[in-house]
Amino acid sequence: MKTILFHARRLALVALLVALPAVLVSALADSQRVQTPSLRMKSDTLKPFVRRVEVPQLKVHMLSSPLPVEISQQGRQLCIKSRYNQLLPIYTANGTYYSSLRLTKGTNWLTGLPRGAYMINNRRYTIN
**For residue 25, how many other CB atoms are within 10 A of its CB?**
14
Q: Is 122 found in the same domain as 73?
A: yes
pLDDT for position 9: 76
pLDDT tens digit sequence for 67-86 = 999 999 999 999 999 999 99
Is beta strand 106-110 parallel, antiparallel or unpaired with respect to 77-82? antiparallel
In the structure, what pLDDT confidence band is assigned to residue 3 with cuts at 50, 70 and 90? confident
pLDDT tens digit sequence for 17-27 = 666 566 655 66
Residue 9: inside a domain:
yes
Residue 90: inside a domain:
yes
Q: Is 74 found in the same domain as 120?
A: yes
**For residue 8, how many other CB atoms are within 10 A of its CB?**
10
The C-alpha angle 22, 26, 29, rounded to 5 degrees, equals 140
Average pLDDT over residues 104-114: 95
Number of domains in the chain: 2
How many whole angstroms separate alpha carbon 127 and alpha carbon 95? Answer: 16
Residue 85: inside a domain:
yes
The model carries a pTM of 0.52
Residue 8: inside a domain:
yes
Question: Which amino acid is residue 127, in one-letter code?
Answer: I
pLDDT tens digit sequence for 51-66 = 677 767 656 578 888 8
Residue 104: inside a domain:
yes
The residue range of the domain holding 20 is 2-35
